[in-house]
Amino acid sequence: MKIWGRENSTNVRKVRWCAEELGLEYELIPAGGAFGVVGTPEYLAKNPNGLVPCLEDDGLVLWESNAIVRYLARRYGAEPFAPADPRLWAVGDKWMDWASLSFAGPFRDLFWNLVRCAPDRRDMAALDAGAAGCARLMAMADQALREAPWLSGAEFGIGDIPLGPIAYGWFSLPIDRPELPALEDWYARLQARPAFRKAVMTPLT
- pTM metric for this prediction: 0.96
Q: What are the pLDDT digits (tens) for 178-205?
A: 999 999 999 999 999 999 999 999 999 9
**pLDDT class of 114 with cuts at 50, 70, 90:** very high
CATH 3.40.30.10 is right for the domain spanning 2-76: yes
The Cα–Cα gap between 182 and 50 comes to 37
Domains of the chain by residue range: 2-76, 86-197
Q: What average pLDDT score do residues 120-140 get?
A: 97
Fold of 86-197: Glutathione S-transferase Yfyf (Class Pi); Chain A, domain 2 (1.20.1050)
Are 11 and 65 in contact, with CB atoms under 8 Å apart? yes
Q: What average pLDDT score do residues 5-17 get?
A: 97
Q: What are the pLDDT digits (tens) for 75-113?
A: 999 999 999 999 999 999 999 999 999 999 999 999 999
**pLDDT class of 171 with cuts at 50, 70, 90:** very high
